[in-house]
Amino acid sequence: MSDHSEYSERDVLREVSALEGKSATAARLFDIRRIIGGLFVIYGVIVTIAGLTDDDAAIDKAEGVNINLWTGLGMLLLGLFFLTWLKLRPIAPPPDATAGDEAKD
């Protein structure tokens, strides 16, 4: 006899649902909104700092506009938008197919 005969259908379903939970966690972790938002926030901070430390020659070169400051602030806002969107509308977990099967038992 093999060792696999000891596992019941309930054990298999429990293992499958645990793996589905891990998969959903990985999907939330690597959500593209988190990656894009995080990168825009990081780059926005860097460019904003560069804009705050620009000298008059750099501003005159851009015809009087502190382009680094405005671009950095725009990048910060876009990054915060993506992160807020992620927080307000998270990925919905997949419907639990095993819950319906257990209810029938």
Provide the residue-wise pLDDT of the chain in tens; the chain has 105 residues: 455 557 777 777 777 777 766 666 666 667 888 999 999 999 999 999 999 999 999 899 989 999 999 999 999 999 999 999 988 887 666 565 555 555 544
Place of tokens 């382009």: 67
| Pairwise CA distance, residues 24 & 92, whole Å | 9
pTM over 0.85: no
For 18-21, the CB contacts below 8 A with 24+ separation are 20/94, 20/96
